[in-house]
Amino acid sequence: MSINSLLEELNDSQRAAASMPAQHALVLAGAGCGKTKTIVARAAWLISNSTPADRIQILAFTRRAANEIVERVRLQLGDRANGLRASTFHTWCTSLRLRAPAVFGYRGFSCIDREDQNQLFKLFRGKATAEQLPPANELCDFYSFARNTIQTLEATLEKDAPKWVKHLEVIGKVMLSYEKRKRDRKYLDYDDVLDVVAQRISTSPEACAWVGSLYDHVLVDEVQDTNPLQWKLLTPLQNDVNLFCVGDDAQSIFGFRGADFWSVHSFSEHVSPSITLKLEQNYRSTQEILDVSNWLISQSPLNYDKTLVGIRGAGRLPQLHTFANDWEEARWIAEDLLVRRQEGALWREHMILVRTAYAARKIEAALLAKEIPYVLIGGVALFATAHVRDVLSVLRIVANPQDELAWMRFLKLWPGVGEKTVTRLTEELMEFELLDDCIRRLVKEPKFPPGVVEVIEVVKNLQQNVAMAFAAAVRGMQDILAKEYHLNWDKRLRDFPLVEKLAEGHGSISAFLEQYVLDPVFETEVIYKPEVDKVTLITVHSAKGTEREVCYAVNVSPGAYPLTRVVGNQEEVEEERRVLYVALTRAKDELIVTRQGYRLWAYENQTPPDGSGEAEAEESYFLNGVPDHLFEHQVHQSDKPPIAPLTGKDYEPPPMGIVISSPPRIPTS
DNA sequence: AGGCGCACTTTTTTT
DNA sequence: AAGTGCGCCT
């Protein structure tokens, strides 16, 4: 297709954005106003106007979004799109680091994921009680938040976990140990992956000039979700490349990762000179869907200055269904899907949006029961499942005998080997550089089954063929794994061929591992082919940027939107509101909102239970006061008596007024 | 001492 | 599904 016919498909503002002269620009656009279309058109226009495709770098937030943009440009331009790259910030930084090790250093470092990070923190946290130190996963959160927002640990704790400020010193010590161990073991965590590059280009004009010389244009999708660490990457490049950023402040839902839509509101101050364009016409949804979405955002104390104006006109009124419990909610959705299917709709026109991966399980069960084909996106990635990690640990050991975390995981699997033995043994193994020395040491270990060493050796001999090495590892470990995971072994066993397939064609174990640490793949995605007709079951966070004809927003109940635990924290409550906003604005033709709860009855009958967190959850519920005419209401009576409601017992308002002590700054590695 | 099985809770969101 | 805590076994 020619570029002219592409431009003709755009409206005036989209066309202006796509075809403007080279300069820094922010394109502000509401949901469904054609953000992706504009970024695709921009890339296509640049290439058609003699920018080589490989001088354009597109940055997106997920691998899926990145791939989609490139595919759509390719659809327009065919082979002329060759060389166009779209990546996540993380894969982009990794490719820069690998491309020029001399510029960035960190040769031979490997990337660890969240789980590994957690294990390390657990190690340094030790046996401290819940009063002395937060749990390892919270330490991870604090650490990562400080890195992503480029704040001190103290500032992070003050904002996020005031009750821990008085333990600042101990927590700081744990984090310093963590950083030292990372360096010693040549690990990079997710934040390091970005910071290695950011640090270098913000302090070395030569490094910055080199990166800048690679590109003419950097196109950033979903810019409202960029955090200060990511801006640390973009800011120094301003002098050498043109930044074309597309975003929507009302869809900023990654605050927990340090995203701050200041980057949108103050764009012209930190990127200058620059222009700001707006896309205000919504092409996606019928007016009734926009009315509900606009109403929701208008209830916010924040001013988004945003009213979506639709061009599609009227359609069907959104539905609001109330169920007695989650089980009936899930069952009804499955039944409704069956009805639609019988009426001739395709499965793939439907998307079910859940707030948490956990909530997706109940829906999954209902879909399975009715044999409705679905893809689940946003749950636990294939490589994050325990049994796959277990097998991968041997590959990691072979690829890098200094991989302490892999050794610990691998050794602990064997009968008679527990935490103490593993800690002692791994410490010893870290003294050796070579795998063969490690093996010699292991052979000497009394009461070790011979399988331990056998597996390592088999994998070692097959390491040039990653898929075969993986298959061999599975064979060698099958017995112990079957015992470990006997409860649902059959289901887990099916994952191994999928991983084996993904391993095919990778030149080395480390290349294979590196790719999937940064680009998580979900079980269903391996089986899924785009042309296959399936319902999409997805978390709202993963669904950003997507759309479907019919969308179900699930469990829009008090206590869930917003989550009970964030009530009282205005910033977080407003982020929750944006999450719901994102969910509602995915729908093109029909929006079906479902909610559960006996608790709702209590609320609507004006008899909230006294003094509990539940009452507060109900008071702050986003659908309170929704005008009747925006929804078609339906209450589904239960055949069983209502089940006791959730309690609000874990909600405590955060203490206020924190005393400040001198902060240990978290150094960047 | 160290390992292991059992009962128990406990779930935000993602690179 | 995975983490935690507890008590029993070697």
A2: left (phi over 0), alpha (psi -120 to 50) or beta: beta
Distances from the Cα of A238 to the Cαs of A6, A58, A196, A220, A235, in angstroms? 29, 15, 19, 13, 6
Question: Which nucleotide is nearest, taking the CA of residue A566 and each C1'?
Answer: B12
Question: Which nucleotide is nearest, taking the CA of residue A193 and each C1'?
Answer: B15
Question: Which nucleotide is nearest, taking the CA of residue A424 and each C1'?
Answer: B2
Question: Which residues on neighbouring strands pair with residue A563, listed in sequence order?
Answer: A560
Whether the upstream peptide bond of residue A654 has omega within 30° of 0, thus cis, is no
Distance measured from the CA of protein residue A133 to the C1' of nucleotide C8, in angstroms: 30
Distance measured from the CA of protein residue A195 to the C1' of nucleotide C6, in angstroms: 43
> Is the C-beta of residue A63 closer than 7 Å to nucleic acid chain B?
yes
Bases along strand B below 7 A from a protein CB = 1-4, 11-15
Which residues are within 7 Å of strand C by their Cβ atom? A 122, 130, 135-136, 380, 385-386, 485, 487-488, 491
Q: Look up residue A20 and give its two tokens.
A: 């403007």
Torsion angle of C-alpha atoms A597, A602, A608, A614, degrees rounded to 10: 0
Angle (CA) A202-A203-A209 rounded to 5° is 70
Distance measured from the CA of protein residue A613 to the C1' of nucleotide B10, in angstroms: 18
Distance measured from the CA of protein residue A587 to the C1' of nucleotide B13, in angstroms: 20
Nucleic strand B contacts from chain A, 493-522, CB < 7 Å:
518, 520
How many Cβ atoms sit within 10 Å of the Cβ of residue A128?
14
Closest protein residue to C2 using CA and C1' atoms? Answer: A386
> Is the C-beta of residue A565 closer than 7 Å to nucleic acid chain B?
yes
Name the DSSP class of A575.
H
What phi and psi values does residue A616 have, to the nearest 5 degrees?
-65, -40
Q: What is the pLDDT of residue A638?
A: 65
Angle (CA) A288-A290-A294 rounded to 5° is 120
Rounded distance, CA A324 to CA A241, Å? 56
Closest protein residue to B5 using CA and C1' atoms? Answer: A484
> Is the C-beta of residue A135 closer than 7 Å to nucleic acid chain B?
no
Closest protein residue to B10 using CA and C1' atoms? Answer: A358
Query: What residue spans of A343-385 are helical by DSSP H?
Result: 357-369
Nucleic strand B contacts from chain A, 378-417, CB < 7 Å:
378, 381, 415-417
> Is the C-beta of residue A123 closer than 7 Å to nucleic acid chain B?
no
Per the listing, tokens 């009302």 go with: A250
> Is the C-beta of residue A36 closer than 7 Å to nucleic acid chain B?
no
Distance measured from the CA of protein residue A405 to the C1' of nucleotide C3, in angstroms: 18
Distance measured from the CA of protein residue A173 to the C1' of nucleotide B4, in angstroms: 33
Q: What is the pLDDT of residue A489?
A: 85
Question: Which nucleotide is nearest, taking the CA of residue A190 and each C1'?
Answer: B15
Distance measured from the CA of protein residue A547 to the C1' of nucleotide B7, in angstroms: 44
Distance measured from the CA of protein residue A310 to the C1' of nucleotide C4, in angstroms: 52
Distance measured from the CA of protein residue A575 to the C1' of nucleotide C5, in angstroms: 36
What phi and psi values does residue A561 have, to the nearest 5 degrees?
-125, 95
Question: Which nucleotide is nearest, taking the CA of residue A127 and each C1'?
Answer: C4
Distance measured from the CA of protein residue A413 to the C1' of nucleotide C5, in angstroms: 21
Question: Which nucleotide is nearest, taking the CA of residue A425 and each C1'?
Answer: B2
Max distance between CA atoms of chain A, in angstroms, equals 76
How many Cβ atoms sit within 10 Å of the Cβ of residue A312?
17
Q: What proportions of chain A, in percent to the nearest 5, are helix, strand and coil? A: 55, 10, 35
Q: What is the pLDDT of residue A616?
A: 67
> Is the C-beta of residue A419 closer than 7 Å to nucleic acid chain B?
yes
Measuring CA to CA, which residue among A28, A572, A551 is closest to residue A300? Answer: A572
Distance measured from the CA of protein residue A625 to the C1' of nucleotide B14, in angstroms: 32
* Residue spans of chain A under pLDDT 50: 600-612, 640-669
